Amino acid sequence: MGLKFSLTLRFVLVVALLLSLFSITIYQNYSFYRKNDFKERLADRALSTSKLLLDYGAVDSVVLRIFDDNSIRPLLNQLVCVYDSTGNLVISSGKMSNNSHAELLPRLYREQEISIESGDTTKVGFMFTHHNQKYAILASAADLVGTRKLAFLRQVIIISFIISIFLLTIIGWLFAHQALKPVRKMIAEVDTITAQNLYNRLPRTNSKDEIDLLAGTFNNMLDRLEASFIMQKNFVSNASHEFRTPLTAMKGQIEVMLMQERTAEEYVATLESVKEEIDEFMHLLVALSELANTHVNESKRLSSRFPIIEVIADSRSEILKNRNQYRIELNIENIPEIEDLNYVKGNQSLLKTAIKNLIENACKFSPDQRCQVSLKFEKDIMITVTDDGIGINEDDIAHIFEPFYRSNDSRGITGHGLGLSLVKKIIEMHGGTVSVESKPSKGTKMTVTMPYYS
């Protein structure tokens, strides 16, 4: 079912329901008014006729007919019967064709006032006093005119309803067509966007309506896609270069070995060199794997609760176990008395990877392989890693979190440029931020800000 057809159908159904309720309400109220109005007219006419009959006795039927015909609203087949208090018929306006009126007397004496409808005929009965005598009046008449009017009203309502539904369908279809016009235009424009012109954006009207907000959402999505495409392109380019470098080195060493016979010592030295290249290649693959894994099932992998102090301490211990030449000073300030404030929510293994990368970078780029790690509990959890190393140029700071990016000053130090990009991704996954303060030849300060467990 198309959206245009769905909107039209819903519009017609809603309006048809309202029209139905409106029409039924009008019909029922008119029917109720007609019945009450006729009862009142019949009762008034019965009372006037009864007084005339009681005052002048048996009136010629011609006189009564003239009296009825000259009434403003004459009644059809009118019959008025007057009974005394003992139930005897005193007088009537015409010949009794049946005894149905007399059968209603017990009920009339009991209820004092009655009203009965039977087909087109309405019967009323009530008690009244005339010349100090109490009488019971039973009257009947047919409301053929009112019935015809009610039937005509019903016919008009049904025909009007059918015509209205037909017109509403046309109007609803045109309305849906016009309402969806901006959407169709947006679809056509989005359909023209490909990987070659991902920079194109949908026009905004600044009207702040749903269509404009949808266009803004599409543009934001395109911004993210364009950034991802650029990052992917750079990633593939840099990764292929990083893969090619160790493989080319290993291939070159093996080819040199095969050019002539070598001594056992030379074979061992070459194999050790190849092993070092393979180790670096494996480190690169592990880093790439960790970076890729940060995108998988984030919501499911960030549900653990653990103390941040334990993460910092374990990271320091694991680094010192493998790099005993490193010197890592740890300082913890303002430890909260409330135990829950020592905890963070997320993935302990991933967060430990990020902290270890920061510490290893600080030690690796410091001449004395020393760094200071500080953990502070303030408005947020603050983790700072400070070193006195080579520092970072101002132009390079904006790019250090990009995969495979390495500044010119760091070219001589072993690495692949993946550590900081992995750190940024992991910290942001945990709702935190990473900031950098650095000056060339004076060192670098990396600050991680994270929220408390909630």
The residue that leads in pLDDT, 182 or 153, is: 153
Q: Which residues contact 256 (CB under 8 A, 6 or more apart)?
A: 270
Q: What is the pLDDT of residues 253-303, one digit of tens each?
A: 888 888 888 888 888 888 888 887 787 677 667 666 665 565 554 544 566
CATH number of 300-450: 3.30.565.10
pLDDT at 454: 63
Name the strand (E) or helix (H) holding 125: strand 121-130
What is the mean predicted confidence (pLDDT) over 183-205?
A: 79
**b/e per residue 86-100 (b: at least 16 CB within 10 A):** eeeeebbbeeeeeee
3-class DSSP assignment, residue 74:
coil
- Per-residue pLDDT, 166: 92
Q: How many whole angstroms separate alpha carbon 362 and alpha carbon 176? A: 62
What architecture is the 210-291 domain classified under in CATH?
A: Orthogonal Bundle (1.10)
> Structure tokens of 208?
């702040």
Task: Quick: pLDDT tens for 380-407.
Answer: 899 999 998 888 887 778 778 776 666 6
* Residue 17 clears pLDDT 90, i.e. is over it: yes
Sorted by where each begins, the domain ranges of the chain are 3-151, 210-291, 300-450
Report pLDDT digits (tens) over 95-114: 554 455 778 888 888 888 99
- For residue 179, what pLDDT is reported? 81
pLDDT at 302: 65
Tell me the CATH class for 3-151.
alpha beta
Query: Burial letters for 213-235: b for 16+ Cβ neighbours within 10 Å, e otherwise?
Result: eebeebeeebeeeeeeeeeeeeb
Q: Is the pLDDT of residue 217 over 70?
A: yes
**8 A C-beta contact, residue 215 and residue 202:** yes
**Higher local confidence (pLDDT), 123 or 228:** 123
DSSP string, 280-312: HHHHHHHHHHHHHHTTS-HHHHS-EEEEHHHHH
What tokens were used for 124? 């009323």
Which pLDDT belongs to residue 241?
A: 60
Q: What confidence tier does 410 reach under pLDDT thresholds 50, 70, 90?
A: low
DSSP 412: T
Q: What is the mean pLDDT of residues 36-42?
A: 87
Spell out a b/e string for 106-133, using b for 16 or more CB atoms within 10 Å of the CB, else e. Answer: eebeeeeebeeeeeebbbbbbeeeeeee
Looking from the CA of 322 toward its CB, the CA atoms found within 13 Å total 8
Tens digits of per-residue pLDDT, 422-451?
A: 788 888 888 899 999 988 888 899 999 988
Query: Which residues in 314-396 belong to E strands, given as ranges?
Result: 327-333, 343-346, 370-377, 381-387
- CA–CA distances in Å: residue 39 to residues 36, 45, 116, 124: 5, 10, 9, 7
Share of the chain above pLDDT 70, in %: 82
* SS3 call for 385: strand
Residue 1 scores a pLDDT above 70: no
Q: How confident is the model at residue 373 (pLDDT cuts 50, 70, 90)?
A: very high
The per-residue pLDDT for 242 is: 61
Sequence-ordered list of residues with C-beta below 8 angstroms from that of 69, at least 6 positions apart, any chain: none
Note the pLDDT tens digit of each residue in 316-356: 998 888 888 899 999 988 887 776 677 888 888 888 888 98
Q: Give the separation between CA 388 and CA 104, rounded to whole angstroms.
A: 115
Whether the domain at 210-291 and the domain at 300-450 fall into the same CATH topology: no
